[in-house]
Structure 1
Amino acid sequence: MATQHAVRTHDDRALSVHDTGARVLDAITVVWHHGSPQTGALLRPLLDAAEARGVRLVSYARPSYATSSPRPGRDVASAAADVERVADTLGLDQFAVMGASGGGPHALACAALLPARVTAAVTLAGLAPFTEAFDGFGGMASDAALRAAREGRQARARFAETDEFDPRSFTARDWATLDSTWSALGEDAQAAEAAGPDGLIDDDVAFVSPWGFDPSTISAPVLLVHGGEDRVVPVSHSRRLVETLPDAELWFRPRDGHISVLEAVPLAMDWLREHGADGTH
């Protein structure tokens, strides 16, 4: 089980934090970065995988999700300062990071901007920066939200007023995963959406704007996990990142989509235990 509490930032915002606490002496701590939209709660598949490996698991809700305060104009890089504050509060000297979908860029931000503390990073179905050198829209079943975000926050907020999820974004394998192992993910996304669109809007604007850091500066080992059938974040994103990151490997899962790729979480935690215990590999 995980405990939930609030952490105050230096600019007096509240962050909703979940923490399983220490499991095994000298076991690694993993800070989980949730997808978009989610509440930041530690879902059962994550808890089960962490408990089986003695991993201490920590997560937090990004600004405007759950009970975390807004942070107007936030970029992807701003996650590092929030995670640093969480780590200081919990007494975490070093930790690994893992993020899924929209959490992937924020995990990379921590690896780039907290190099003395982040020992290794994993992203699952994560995005790459949208730059002139890389157009990340190709292969998306629905790119309208991110294209609206490129026009600015007001345009993305207007789009949110009529936005509806396109079921074509998920494969049959994705839907089967949501009906079984990761059913809590769908329930949590619904809870996040019921609380309002601001967190998702700010995420989308941050994704398509300058991230505030250069992934090529990340010195920690990074594992990228991506499904070949992903219609939400195409595998081209991880292929772009693996070319950019100095020390990265890509686990390509050809039959997985955006949700079913999460079945790799236990194996990814094993990878973090091997690569993130002391920052060496």
Structure 2
Amino acid sequence: MGEPLRTATTPDGRTLAFAVWGDPDGFPVVQLHGTPGCRLERWPDEDLYRRLGVCLVTSDRAGYGRSDRHLGRQVADEADDVLALADHLGFERFGVTGGSGGGHHSLACAALLPDRVVRAACIVGPAPLGDPGLEHDAWLAGQDPVNVEEFGWAIAGEDVLRPALEKELAGMAARVAVDPSTILGDFDLSDTDRAELQRPERMQIIRESITEQAATGVDGWVDDDLASVAPWGFDVGRITVPVLVRYGATDVLVPPAHGEWLAANVPGCVVKVDDDAGHLGSDPEQEIAEHVLWLRDGVPPAGSR
């Protein structure tokens, strides 16, 4: 098994918690978790990463798990933390991938670390809210009402958002204690997403992550939501690193319009649309292998454009 808890110190003195999985001598990939999430979000069969020849690094984004909060952070600030991790581990060049709430943080690394990031992948990641992204109604269109409510809290500010997320977390933890596949509660998910949530491996990840992601409270979740509805602090149009943008046609957490906007605005990106999948994909091991081939070798997934 990989090392589930290691720490580094950022240049501004914060503790950054991370884990290393797979082949320590393999191609380095930094994987950025969703919202909410933590460093334990990976495929639980570590042999998959060994077979792929990957040294996978996962971290607790600031305020999650065992990482210190970075009050007032923007999406762009994730690049500094990823750089601190890479320097700590001696990675000169590496790939970065992020899913869902980690997707736009991966784009920040592509935009701001072009001399270090070989390639990046943004998997079911959101578009910016407002100019130069999607305007408010278009940004929310197609999202499940539970998601719309959460972003309404974020737009209202931390005083509204924090107590609401604390209540949401308590509900999630209670559901997971009974059945991890019900973590998303009343979301009207696609059939493929419901099937994915019932995979034994995914339920294992949910069980392991639910407590750890909020080990010190909901700061990370609060700050992720606030950063997602604010200016990101970088321009996706200035990305020069090769990027894979992947999204699902039946996604109700980050609807296809977000992926379409990114596909049209991330320069030269490779685009993969999963026509039959939602937010969670449909074949995790195959999709992980495809992402590794992209990040390491620049091989686009079959059916991409």
The answer to whether TM tops 0.5 is yes
Task: Choose 42-51 or 146-155, whichever is displaced more.
Answer: 42-51
The alignment's TM-score, normalised by the length of structure 1, stands at 0.90
Name the counterpart of 1:81: 80
Name the counterpart of 1:279: none
Name the counterpart of 1:130: 129
Q: CA deviation at 1:172?
A: 2.6
Aligned length: 274
Look up the equivalent residue of 1:268 and give its one-letter code: H
Task: Choose 131-140 or 184-193, whichever is displaced more.
Answer: 184-193
Name the counterpart of 1:190: 210
Name the counterpart of 2:17: 16
Cα distance between partner residues in 1 of 2:6 and 2:24 = 19
Task: Tell me if the contact between 1:178 and 1:186 (Cα under 8 Å) persists in the aligned partners.
Answer: no
Name the counterpart of 2:234: 213
**CA pair 182-227 structure 1, distance change in 2 beyond 3 A:** same
Residue pairs, 1:194-205, within 5 angstroms:
194-195=214-215, 196-205=217-226
Name the counterpart of 2:159: 154
- Cα-to-partner distance string for 1:121-160 (whole Å, 9 max, x where unaligned): 1121111111145131110003111122122222211332
Q: What SS does the aligned partner of 2:247 have?
A: strand
Q: CA deviation at 1:47?
A: 3.4
Q: Which runs of 5+ in 1 are unaligned?
A: 277-281
Task: Choose 114-123 or 131-140, whichever is displaced more.
Answer: 131-140
Task: Choose 74-83 or 49-58, whichever is displaced more.
Answer: 49-58
Residue 268 in structure 1 maps to residue 271 in structure 2: no
Name the counterpart of 1:36: 35
Cα distance between partner residues in 1 of 2:188 and 2:62 = 26
Task: Tell me if the contact between 2:103 and 2:125 (Cα under 8 Å) persists in the aligned partners.
Answer: yes
Cα distance between partner residues in 2 of 1:232 and 1:126 = 10
Task: Tell me if the contact between 1:35 and 1:102 (Cα under 8 Å) persists in the aligned partners.
Answer: yes
**CA pair 217-209 structure 1, distance change in 2 beyond 3 A:** same
Cα distance between partner residues in 2 of 1:2 and 1:80 = 24
Task: Choose 258-267 or 66-75, whichever is displaced more.
Answer: 258-267
Task: Tell me if the contact between 1:38 and 1:191 (Cα under 8 Å) persists in the aligned partners.
Answer: no
Name the counterpart of 2:2: 2
Task: Choose 41-50 or 118-127, whichever is displaced more.
Answer: 41-50
**CA pair 237-189 structure 1, distance change in 2 beyond 3 A:** farther
Name the counterpart of 1:223: 244
Q: CA deviation at 1:171?
A: 2.3
Bigger share in helix: 2
Task: Tell me if the contact between 1:19 and 1:58 (Cα under 8 Å) persists in the aligned partners.
Answer: yes
Q: What SS does the aligned partner of 1:102 have?
A: helix
Q: Structure 1 segments of 4 or more deviating over 6 A? A: none
Q: Percent sequence identity over matched residues?
A: 33
Residue 232 in structure 1 maps to residue 248 in structure 2: no
Q: What SS does the aligned partner of 1:231 have?
A: coil
**CA pair 153-128 structure 1, distance change in 2 beyond 3 A:** same
Cα distance between partner residues in 2 of 1:192 and 1:37 = 11
Cα distance between partner residues in 1 of 2:283 and 2:186 = 18
Q: What SS does the aligned partner of 2:11 have?
A: coil
**CA pair 169-189 structure 1, distance change in 2 beyond 3 A:** farther
- Cα-to-partner distance string for 1:58-112 (whole Å, 9 max, x where unaligned): 1111111111011111110111111111111110101010001001111111111
**Cα RMSD over matched residues?**
2.0
Q: What SS does the aligned partner of 1:252 have?
A: strand
Look up the equivalent residue of 2:196 and give its one-letter code: T
